[in-house]
Amino acid sequence: MNKSVWALLMPPVVMGGIYFGIFTATEAAPVGCLYALLVSALVYRNLRPPVPWRLA
């Protein structure tokens, strides 16, 4: 499966959840954020914890 498919699945996940009554429109924002964080960390593997000496 192409990695771009994971990013393209976010709108159907959010809108499908609203449409099917799984969550409200207000609850859809955290679901979208959590989905984006998980895809970024697990699929793209570009989300790293901050290193204190690199922040300065």
45 CB burial (10 A radius; 0-12, 13-18, 19+): exposed
pTM for the model stands at 0.76
Answer whether residue 16 is part of any domain: yes
State how far Cα 21 lies from the chain centre: 19
Answer whether residue 26 is part of any domain: yes
Answer whether residue 54 is part of any domain: no
Instruction: Please tell me the predicted confidence (pLDDT) of residue 45.
Output: 82
Answer whether residue 53 is part of any domain: no
In which domain, by residue range, is 33 found?
4-43
The number of folded domains in the chain is 1
Answer whether residue 27 is part of any domain: yes
Residue pLDDT, tens place only, 6-56: 999 999 999 999 999 999 999 999 999 999 999 988 888 877 777 766 655
Answer whether residue 25 is part of any domain: yes
Answer whether residue 10 is part of any domain: yes
Instruction: Please tell me the predicted confidence (pLDDT) of residue 20.
Output: 96
Residue 38 carries which DSSP code? Answer: H
